[in-house]
Amino acid sequence: MFLRKVTRPSPAGPVDYLYLVKGFRQAGTVRQRIVANLGRADLLAPHLDALLRLLRPYLDEPVGALREVHAPQALTYGPVLVARSLWEQLGLPAILDRHCGPDVTERAFVLAAHRLLHPGSEHALAWWLQDSYVTDRQGRRVLPQWEAHGRVRVGAAQLQRWYRTLDRVLAAKPRIEEDVYLQLRDLFGLQVDLVFYDLTSTYFAGTGPEGFARHGHSRDGHPRDRQVLVGVVMASGWPIASYVFAGHRADGTTVQEVVEDVRTRFVVQRIVWVADRGMVSADTLEVLSAGADRYLVGLPRRRNPKAQALLRDSVHAAWQALPEGGQVAEVRRPDDPARYVVVHSPERLAYEREMRRLSMRRCRDDLRKLQQAVERGRLKAPEKIGARASTILHAHHGYRYFTWALTPAGAFRFWVDRATLRAERRVEGTYLLQTNEPALEPVQVVAAYKDLQRVERAFRYLKDVLAVRPIYHQTEPRVRGHLFIAHLALLLGIALEKALRRAGLDLSLETALEALRPVRLVTLELEGQQHRVLTKPGPHAQAVLKAVGLRHLAAPEPRSEIA
């Protein structure tokens, strides 16, 4: 018996099959009979070596073609193929060619695809290239360069080319954003009547650039690490501009700079700016409503007398049902031209009520432990007792529910503060919006504000899916370049997500990328020749490929390689 390869046509291109064949003589003629159909070579590739070890004792020809059959290489291909397709569909090659040149464009694609598909530092990029089939527009595979200086690491020349790519792309960032905006407007009918702006923070490994990486309010839970602020402006679910600010800036102080930049660089007429409650101040609202523009912002609920008054007045307002559940009412205040919208959400009420009960339980347990420590004499100094109580109350938002005191005898006592608890229960399940846009009905105001979740989802992509934290660069231009590459990767991620929605697929970005990873390009050495085959996409991968317009896959022809 021996192994034979047979190539058969298919709608997706030629497919190689392996057969176990036995030779025999019949009427003086040598004939062959198929003993077993082993299946597609691409599917067998990961198990080929083990299969050959099992078959070899039973084969008549252990020497020859069979001994030479093995799979020397299997490279991840599906995610890179989709990223390249989206990159081209968005017109990014032509845009970057115009402003940066073809060589920079190709390296920028590699950086952005790596950030989307297997995020890590530029050093980790080389390992990703080693395991993935990444090509330029001419089909030439991009390979890492390695150097051995005590340990194997990325070649300095290649690393510097990647760093210089960050510099070149950053220098063209304003023009690239403007051209991408025009491209999105033409391709997808991008509307800029509602513009969403929000901020997040990301921290550094190390000190970061002096004067730029600063300590500030950390949204990452890393208050001891220096950080920068990252702002994104989105329209119709697409990121059209991104900004990086020093880490100590207050959210509201960034608004004027961003608003003026958007009005200057983009072709817009009249905008309704939608922002979260962290942006709200009198100065911010004045900036957002300059000229013909309008605003729609969230209002802080706690420690806000205006919010408490609006909640009290909403009891007598006319309520409307929301399509997704809950109620909304508009409340007007005397001598105040702004419109206020109060929203009651049953889903939010259940969530916040459960969180309050959990926080109260944890805080009460910790306060009891403190009380026992004081009773047993383990903690005596009043200033230490006060510091410990303050830490407990802030760790679990306990200051919303509890208060405490030391008796003249030095005993520690705590109790539920009924007044603050009532105020907390009053705001549970509600949120308040403020706008000066007269054309929006209350239900439309709520729908517009909920679209701000797209920006928040984009930040989750930036931080989690694209893993922009921590940042390792130690100069300000490189930090900005690194984050703009993340912006381009975010653009690809949102393009994929929108393609999935258009195709009616209820898959997250992470799930879609995970489904594509088993699509690998396998090199087989069979009968003294090399053959390239693609592993068969699974059902989810087939659906994702179809959603982005890739219906018929074929293994790419081998070309030259570049670094």
Choose from 16-30, 66-80, 210-224 the range with maximum mean pLDDT. Answer: 210-224
User: Tell me, what's the pLDDT at 555?
Assistant: 85
User: Tell me, what's the pLDDT at 357?
Assistant: 94
Q: Which amino acid is at 288?
A: L
Q: Give, for 162, the enclosing helix (H) or strand (E).
A: helix 156-171
How far the first Cα of the chain sits from its last, in Å, is 44
Residues 513/79, Cβ–Cβ less than 8 Å? yes
User: Tell me, what's the pLDDT at 234?
Assistant: 86
Is the omega angle on the peptide bond into residue 470 within 30 degrees of 0, that is, cis?
A: yes
Range in 292-306, 410-424, 480-494, 524-538 the model is least confident about: 524-538
**pLDDT classification of 66: cutoffs 50, 70, 90:** very low
Q: Give, for 410, the enclosing helix (H) or strand (E).
A: none
Residues 509/461, Cβ–Cβ less than 8 Å? yes
Q: How far apart are CA 180 and CA 174, in angstroms?
A: 10
User: Tell me, what's the pLDDT at 493?
Assistant: 93
pLDDT digits (tens, 9 = 90+) for 423-469: 888 889 998 999 988 888 999 888 888 877 766 776 666 666 566 77
Q: What average pLDDT score do residues 402-423 get?
A: 92
pLDDT digits (tens, 9 = 90+) for 535-556: 889 999 999 999 999 988 888 8
Q: Is the dihedral of CA 265, 268, 270, 274 positive or negative?
A: negative
In the chain, % of residues over pLDDT 70: 89
Per-residue b or e along 430-454, where b marks 16 or more CB atoms closer than 10 Å to that residue's CB: bbbbbbbbeebebeebbebbebbeb
pLDDT digits (tens, 9 = 90+) for 242-298: 999 999 998 888 988 998 899 889 877 778 888 877 777 778 888 888 777 888 888
User: Tell me, what's the pLDDT at 136?
Assistant: 93
Q: How many CB atoms lie within 10 A of CB 173?
A: 18
Question: Which residues face 6 on adjacent strands?
Answer: 17
Q: Using alpha carbons only, give the angle 187, 188, 194 rounded to the nearest 5 degrees.
A: 135
pLDDT digits (tens, 9 = 90+) for 216-254: 988 877 888 999 999 889 888 899 999 999 999 988 889
Q: What average pLDDT score do residues 517-529 get?
A: 80
Q: What average pLDDT score do residues 159-184 get?
A: 96
**pLDDT classification of 534: cutoffs 50, 70, 90:** confident
Q: Which residue has the higher pLDDT, 50 or 390?
A: 390
pLDDT digits (tens, 9 = 90+) for 84-134: 999 999 999 999 999 999 999 999 999 999 999 988 888 889 999 999 999
Tell me the whole-structure pTM to 2 decimals: 0.78
Q: Which residue has the higher pLDDT, 141 or 69?
A: 141
Q: What average pLDDT score do residues 179-204 get?
A: 87
User: Tell me, what's the pLDDT at 481?
Assistant: 95
Coil, strand or helix at 143: coil
* Closest by Cα among 371, 439, 438 to 410: 371
**pLDDT classification of 20: cutoffs 50, 70, 90:** confident
User: Tell me, what's the pLDDT at 55?
Assistant: 65
Q: Give, for 108, the enclosing helix (H) or strand (E).
A: helix 102-117
**pLDDT classification of 67: cutoffs 50, 70, 90:** very low
Structure tokens at 547: 């959603």
Give every CB contact of residue 393 below 8 A, 6+ residues apart in sequence.
363, 399, 402, 404
Choose from 103-112, 325-334, 518-527 the range with maximum mean pLDDT. Answer: 103-112
Choose from 42-46, 150-154, 498-502, 523-527 the range with maximum mean pLDDT. Answer: 498-502
* Closest by Cα among 431, 487, 430 to 174: 487
What is the 8-class DSSP label of residue 135?
A: B
Over the chain, what is the mean pLDDT?
Answer: 86
User: Tell me, what's the pLDDT at 45?
Assistant: 67
